[in-house]
Amino acid sequence: MTQEKKDPQGSPERRTDSGIVIHPVYRAGDLEGWDADARLGEPGSFPYTRGVHPGMYRSKLWTMRQYAGFGSAEATNQRFKFLLDAGQTGLSCAFDLPTQMGYDSDHPRAEGEVGKVGVAIDSLADMRLLMADLPMDKVTTSMTINATGAILLLLYQLVAEEQGVPGEKIRGTIQNDILKEYIARGTYIYPPRPSMRLIVDTFAYCAANLPNWNTISISGYHIREAGSTAVQEIAFTLANGIAYVEAAIAAGMDIDAFAPRLSFFWNAHNNLFEEIAKYRAARRMWARIMTERFGAKDERSKMLRFHTQTGGSTLTAQQPENNIVRVTVQSLAAALGGTQSLHTNGFDEALGLPTTRAAKIALRTQQIVGFESGVADTVDPLAGSYFVESLTDEVEAAANDYLERIEQLGGAVAAIEARFMQEEIESAAYSFAKAVDDGEKVVVGVNRFTDAEEEHTEVFPIDVTLQQLQIDRTTSVRGARDQAVVDRALADVAETAKGEGNLLVPMKAALKAMATLGEVADVLRAEFGVYQPGG
């Protein structure tokens, strides 16, 4: 039997989820030789440890951007309007697996998945319904989409133009982070290197046409959902960020032409203080990377702006209402860590899509934290805490160790191809699961404080007629269009893919001619190939 480790006072040793030892007490001496100006600075100033804006939430609360997206475009449009009426301040859209993987709803591989984990978008006709009667010049929209991110962005732009909204007035974000798909999530289509070309083309297209659009949300969220630690989350995500910047520079773009529109997407888990330290460390690390490694001059290029979502993998099907408390703790971590926008999960999401009741409670959780808790009254409330500052330093040091190892492997793309990050995450996930199974890690309602009988929880209903309705609409779109125009437009996409032109230009023309998402993705499949892991 392994002997339990003790601290000097004789109490059991405590560690964060990343394995950082937590001391019984922290004192000023723990920060001896600590340069507050170099490590902290002022809010809104380099190295941005204390936040990217001088006033932070005293000036404006974070954007409350509840995630929505299920079934048909019409149903999701109604959920958007419900959330906006309830006080949400930004839209966030999930897409179903066929849309994420570049398949139309009538493709054989879409069978059984249409509208299940997000909304089905096959063509411009669907995007029109998704954004119907929504003020696209006022609302900001975040779209969780990667391999087909450029396609969804172009469809969004086309609908905005139909509403008379010019490109410079469109604001929002596409996730567009393909590297983490190879690491943690799996909704990739093409191999890494042509995928990187598509992302760089998106950077350049938006710089010229959609200057206020965030071209990528470099995502640690899904890395954490796959089982990583907090340290691995920021290390692997920042490594991916470095790879995107290097690819854009190699394509001839100036760092300050695209870097101000980069954004990040983090997870929020239950270890309150490690999560706060993670956000503060990530901001400081990115500011230094952009300044010292890439020579960015524009201060906006150095700011790590980020969205946060509470941890889906922390939600339990057992005693699901306990998840309301978990989400509250995670929301506090995000707010105390300085997030720019936040999504709070519904308490029933371990069982299915969030019901209307759960979605409203999740939004109310943010509103209570924002308006009633006092966290917004002062900037960076925990700055100067011996514990928080020490933990921030330790998270940063451990993450930098990972970055050095990734550099030795040749950077993020090479590390992904060597499965380094994947194997590190798998090891961390196994260790966590074993700790829960052994009872070393307490999960309330799962391995301690359990109930003999579980209460019934309402589950979101699935519309079994949806797939056929979606197929019928896509068939109708194909039947009503000028096929010769579509064929020529798709041929232009193929020709550009063979060369070096910006792919988004012919893709937009094809989508405007009513080519479907699947047809555009198929053209790129034919030119780029399909990624086979380990192949």
Q: Which residues, other chains included, contact 194 with Cβ-Cβ below 8 Å and sequence gap of 6+?
A: 524, 527, 528, 529
The residues pairing with 444 across neighbouring beta strands, listed in sequence order, are 448
pLDDT band at residue 69 using 50, 70 and 90 as cut-offs: confident
Cα dihedral sign, 95-101-102-107 = negative
- Tell me the C-alpha distance between 249 and 486, whole Å: 34
DSSP 298: S
- What is the structure's pLDDT at 533? 83
| Beta strand ranges found along 242-360 (DSSP E) | 262-268, 306-310, 341-343
Q: Each residue of 285-324: pLDDT tens digit?
A: 999 999 999 999 999 999 999 999 999 999 999 999 999 9
What is the mean pLDDT of the segment spanning 115-137? Answer: 95
pLDDT band at residue 2 using 50, 70 and 90 as cut-offs: very low
Q: Which residues, other chains included, contact 135 with Cβ-Cβ below 8 Å and sequence gap of 6+?
A: none
- More confident of the two residues 452 and 302: 302
Domain with CATH 3.20.20.240 in the chain: 21-437
Angle CA(135)–CA(95)–CA(232) in degrees, nearest 5? 110
- Tell me the C-alpha distance between 157 and 517, whole Å: 15
Q: Which residues, other chains included, contact 134 with Cβ-Cβ below 8 Å and sequence gap of 6+?
A: 77, 80, 81, 91
What is the mean pLDDT of the segment spanning 25-52? Answer: 90
Q: Which helix (H) or strand (E) holds 218?
A: strand 216-219
Yes or no: say if 429 and 318 are a contact pair by the CB < 8 Å rule: no
Residue 475 to residues 125, 400, 479, 507: CA-CA distances in angstroms? 11, 52, 6, 20
Whole-model pTM: value is 0.92
Q: Which of 207-211, 354-358, 440-444 has the lowest mean pLDDT?
A: 354-358
What residue has token string 């499965």?
A: 419
Q: How high is the mean pLDDT of the chain?
A: 94
Q: Which CATH class is domain 21-437?
A: alpha beta
Q: Each residue of 400-438: pLDDT tens digit?
A: 999 999 999 999 999 998 999 999 999 999 999 999 999
pLDDT band at residue 110 using 50, 70 and 90 as cut-offs: very high
Q: Each residue of 257-290: pLDDT tens digit?
A: 999 999 999 999 999 999 999 999 999 999 999 9
What tokens appear for 137 in the block? 């010049």
DSSP 259: G
pLDDT band at residue 1 using 50, 70 and 90 as cut-offs: very low
Grouping H, G, I as helix, E, B as strand and the rest as coil, residue 306 is strand
What residue has token string 């048909």?
A: 72
Grouping H, G, I as helix, E, B as strand and the rest as coil, residue 72 is coil
- Tell me the C-alpha distance between 26 and 32, whole Å: 12
What tokens appear for 454 in the block? 């579980």
